[in-house]
Copies of this chain bind each other. A is one copy, B any other.
């Protein structure tokens, strides 16, 4: 997607340049990952990238947690502009998270499909991909795997944790569970609890995948018949919710595709530009994403509810030294400002140090990935402790 008014080079600051994704085994048979459910999992390999240098005091590390369909490749490129990281506008020399000052780590989440162990990985018990035999896990489990990576990298304390959407949910859980490990927590269009409407959209997306006859109860790997239809529909649906109605109006309106210079008659094919956009998003997604990962990572969001026992949370948050930044965007209707207000309400009850801001931006939920000037300035200032 292009946002004409907001090119990713709109801000000063260079790319971190060529980067490589690394891979590390964090848990094995002898020392398996113990999930919150009590189930164990081994081996667990994690794909990650780092940008910048860890300083001698090991005090400048910032973790980025990715959202539903992200991966370890947050910044820099893998060999050219077409392989730019998904949050390259945020991370790099001179960018809001400056890689001359900070050492940035981003890893593919547990359950992912871009190098970290997930449902498409081989289950050593069967020699076949896990599929739906992969255990369910929680946002806390996502955090624990990333904490294990930090230990491996010799990092005990983070200067900051940053995440948008599901990424922000992980940062929230992390700050609640291990307040001494995270000096600053940046929660960007995050939530402490999905609404029924949020769950409904995710449920329909999962239905599209699981009702696809090629889904084969998750055991589609290697059969040559993958649930591509369902996964594309899931992605198309999600994309509607990532943009505001206003953004769709601005970008597409009711424009039709040029049909060889002629106005096209009524068709069930692609005619309006918005249809072309959604179709492209659906097809592009199939090349890089696994349907089972979509199921696991969307479902973990539905169950996330860290404030369920609010009084206990408030008690636990007292004396919490973490500074929180809670950001939302005024046209985001997926995780609207009301979600941020709910997080801020609990932080306030506990007397935490926090800044909450709603940023004006026409691009809806997608805004968090875009170089919206006021938003980037806010992140920059917060990290510099000027807010």
Which of A's residues lie within 8 Å of B, judged by CB?
37, 132, 136, 138, 193-197, 199-201, 203-204, 206-208, 210-214, 229-230, 232-233, 236-237, 240, 245, 248-249, 251-254, 265-268, 272-275, 278-279, 282, 295, 299, 302-303, 305
Contacts and interface: CB of A to CB of B under 8 A. Distances in A.
B204 A229 contact: no
A383 to B, nearest CB: 33
B266 A303 contact: yes
A251 B199 CA distance: 14
A208 B233 contact: yes
A299 B240 contact: no
Nearest to A138: B266
Q: Is the interface of A mostly helix, strand, loop or mixed?
A: helix
A253 B266 CA distance: 40
A254 B211 contact: no
26 contacts: A37-B266, A132-B268, A136-B265, A193-B254, A195-B248, A196-B251, A196-B273, A196-B274, A197-B240, A197-B249, A199-B275, A200-B236, A200-B248, A200-B274, A200-B278, A201-B240, A203-B274, A203-B278, A207-B233, A208-B233, A211-B230, A212-B212, A212-B229, A213-B229, A233-B233, A272-B302
B229 A196 contact: no
Nearest to A198: B245
B37 A197 contact: no
A252 B196 contact: yes
- Among A268, A278, A302, the most chain B Cβ lie within 10 Å of the Cβ of A268
Contacts of A282: 207
Contacts of A199: 254, 272, 274-275
Contacts of A132: 268
A265 to B, nearest CB: 7
A200 B204 CA distance: 15
Given A207-B233, A207-B236, A305-B254, A245 B195 contact: yes
Nearest to A277: B200
A267 to B, nearest CB: 8
A304 to B, nearest CB: 11
A233 B305 CA distance: 27
A240 B272 contact: no
B232 A207 contact: yes
A212 B209 CA distance: 11
List 5 A-B pairs, minimum CB-CB distance, nearest first.
Answer: A211-B229, A136-B266, A196-B248, A196-B274, A197-B245
Given A254-B193, A275-B203, A37 B265 contact: yes
Contacts of A249: 195-197
Given A203-B274, A274-B203, A303-B266, A196 B254 contact: yes
A208 B265 CA distance: 22
Contact of A204 (B196, B207, B273, B278): B278
A253 B207 contact: no
Nearest to A269: B210
A265 B302 CA distance: 12
A111 to B, nearest CB: 12
Nearest to A336: B245
A164 to B, nearest CB: 21
A306 to B, nearest CB: 13
A84 to B, nearest CB: 26
Contacts of A302: 272
A200 B266 contact: no
- Among A208, A265, A299, the most chain B Cβ lie within 10 Å of the Cβ of A208
A275 B196 CA distance: 9
A207 B194 CA distance: 26
A194 B274 CA distance: 12
